[in-house]
């Protein structure tokens, strides 16, 4: 079973409008509300791949109830720690080919929730073979909280795949408790290593994955959007190329890519298959309008078109 952690999930609301009228009333007919947060996209990606998955994290209030109801209707198993503090809404206004977003930061939690979640988390670990952690932490949580989760998982021999950014990723990288895999995109990695990366220059990509901050992490997968990915798996480097696709909505592609990586590690697949699976999942998501959705009927076709080149 794959355990996915989403510490700050949301109800994602999309408002499609022909025109956004500023300082005026905008009426909207086709509202879509889904359970959101990067880790819940990972959960869906794993579920589409046919592997048992359990979603956890913290939810609260009526928004938290809505998130759980949505997961029920998608037949996704979850076991959240439930608080009284209302989970957040994230609003995307789709207008004139633009996407204007209003993102609530979510509840401010404290030491009580930190301790309670850690106790809850310990009860989830028994059946987990692989774990993913995605996205941001609730306000009030220590910035190195992911390192604490990783420490507990590492003690139990559960590999952790981490997809976070900024100060939360940095706090984990400098701690002694290392994830098994990270999957930054180019911008997220540049921010961490404070170095420009030229995606067309192999030497620049190697220099990035060889940065001392990343030394003790076995798998670094830099996802590069339409340029595929570049990876260091222990001491081997891989350039991964993907075919040109018809992109409809790339939001969530990185999350579904992480789902592919988790499934592969769960199934003990080869590195080549792992990279191909991850890229295929990302592409399948980018070809759909719905975030975190993939049409597995197209899986084999795109899988065959991914090329993995080992560099050394
Ligand atoms: P993130 O969503 O984390 O920024 P990326 O944009 O790198 O991650 O996307 C993850 C993966 O999804 C890519 O490695 C690729 O396989 C696929 N993907 C994303 N955008 C595109 C695109 N425009 N064309 C083809 N594949 C894409």
Integer Cα distance of 39 and 16 in angstroms: 24
Integer Cα distance of 28 and 14 in angstroms: 10
What confidence score (pLDDT) does residue 253 get?
96
Percent of the chain with pLDDT over 90: 95
282 close to ligand 1 (CB < 6 Angstrom): yes
Q: Map out the domains of the chain as residue ranges.
A: 2-310
Q: For a pocket test of ligand 1, which of 282, 283, 287, 291 has the largest count of ligand atoms closer than 8 A to its C-beta? A: 282
Percent of the chain with pLDDT over 70: 100
Mean pLDDT of 91-95: 92
Nearest-CA residue for ligand 1 atom 22 is 226
Nearest-CA residue for ligand 1 atom 3 is 254
Nearest-CA residue for ligand 1 atom 12 is 282
Question: What is the atom index within ligand 1 of the atom nearest the CA of 240?
Answer: 14
Q: Is the pLDDT confidence value at 13 over 80?
A: yes
CB atoms near residue 22 (< 10 Å): 6
| Mean pLDDT for all residues in the chain | 96
252-302 pLDDT tens trace: 999 999 999 999 999 999 999 999 999 999 999 999 988 999 999 999 999
Integer Cα distance of 276 and 273 in angstroms: 5
Q: How far is CA 146 from the centre of its chain?
A: 14
What confidence score (pLDDT) does residue 99 get?
86
Say which residue the tokens 């959960």 belong to: 43
226 close to ligand 1 (CB < 6 Angstrom): yes
DSSP letters for 240-303: EE------S--TTHHHHHHHHHHHHHHTT--HHHHHHHHHHHHHHHHTSSSTT---GGGHHHHH
Q: Is the pLDDT confidence value at 312 over 80?
A: no
Q: Is the pLDDT confidence value at 39 over 90?
A: yes
Give, to the nearest 10 degrees, the angle between helix 38-48 and helix 253-266. 50
What CATH class is the domain 2-310?
Answer: alpha beta
Mean pLDDT of 42-51: 98
Distance 223 CA to ligand 1 centre (A): 6
Give, to the nearest 10 degrees, the angle between helix 253-266 and helix 271-286. 150
Integer Cα distance of 222 and 185 in angstroms: 5
225-261 pLDDT tens trace: 999 999 999 999 999 999 999 999 899 999 999 999 9
Question: What is the atom index within ligand 1 of the atom nearest the CA of 228?
Answer: 14
What confidence score (pLDDT) does residue 288 get?
94
Q: How far from 71 is each of 48, 132, 138, CA to CA, in Å?
A: 14, 18, 21
Q: Is the pLDDT confidence value at 140 over 90?
A: yes
248 close to ligand 1 (CB < 6 Angstrom): no
Antiparallel, parallel or unpaired: β 98-103 and 32-36:
unpaired
What confidence score (pLDDT) does residue 217 get?
98
Distance 126 CA to ligand 1 centre (A): 33
Q: Evaluate the CA torsion angle 245, 251, 254, 259 in order and state its sign.
A: negative
Q: For a pocket test of ligand 1, which of 162, 166, 244, 253 has the largest count of ligand atoms closer than 8 A to its C-beta? A: 253
Q: Is the pLDDT confidence value at 21 over 90?
A: yes
Nearest-CA residue for ligand 1 atom 8 is 254
223 close to ligand 1 (CB < 6 Angstrom): yes
Mean pLDDT of 28-34: 92
Q: For a pocket test of ligand 1, which of 250, 256, 306 has the largest count of ligand atoms closer than 8 A to its C-beta? A: 250
Question: What is the atom index within ligand 1 of the atom nearest the CA of 282?
Answer: 12
Q: Is 177 exposed, middle or buried (0-12, 13-18, 19+ CB in 10 A)?
A: middle
Distance 221 CA to ligand 1 centre (A): 12
Mean pLDDT of 304-309: 98
Integer Cα distance of 158 and 2 in angstroms: 10
């Amino acid at each position: 079973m794959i355990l996915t952690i989403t510490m700050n999930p949301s109800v994602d609301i999309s408002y499609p409008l022909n025109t956004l009228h500023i300082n005026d009333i905008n009426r909207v007919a086709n509202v879509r509300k889904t359970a959101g947060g990067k880790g819940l996209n990972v959960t869906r990606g794993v579920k589409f791949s046919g592997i048992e998955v359990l979603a956890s994290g913290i939810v609260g209030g009526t928004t938290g109830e809505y998130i759980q109801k949505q997961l029920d209707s998608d037949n996704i198993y979850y076991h959240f720690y439930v608080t009284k503090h209302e989970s957040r809404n994230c609003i995307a206004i789709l207008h004139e080919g633009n996407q204007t977003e209003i993102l609530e930061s979510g509840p401010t939690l404290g030491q009580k929730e930190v301790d309670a979640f850690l106790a809850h988390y310990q009860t989830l670990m028994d059946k987990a073979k692989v774990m993913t952690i995605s996205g941001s932490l609730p306000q009030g949580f220590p910035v190195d909280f992911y390192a604490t989760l990783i420490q507990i998982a590492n003690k139990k021999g559960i590999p952790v795949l981490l997809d976070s950014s900024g100060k939360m990723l940095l706090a984990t990288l400098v701690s002694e408790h290392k994830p098994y895999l990270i999957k930054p995109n180019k911008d997220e990695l540049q921010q961490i290593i404070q170095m420009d990366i030229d995606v067309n220059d192999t030497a620049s990509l190697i220099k990035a994955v060889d940065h001392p901050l990343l030394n003790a992490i076995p798998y670094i997968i830099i996802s590069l959007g339409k340029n595929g990915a570049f990876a260091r798996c222990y001491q081997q480097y891989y350039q991964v190329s993907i075919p040109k696709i018809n992109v409809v909505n790339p939001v969530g592609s990185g999350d579904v890519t992480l789902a592919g990586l988790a499934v592969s590690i769960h199934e003990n697949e080869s590195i080549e298959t792992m990279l191909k699976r991850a890229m295929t999942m990302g592409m399948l998501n980018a070809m759909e309008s719905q975030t975190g959705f993939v049409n597995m009927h197209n899986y084999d076709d795109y899988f065959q078109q991914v090329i993995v080149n080992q560099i050394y």
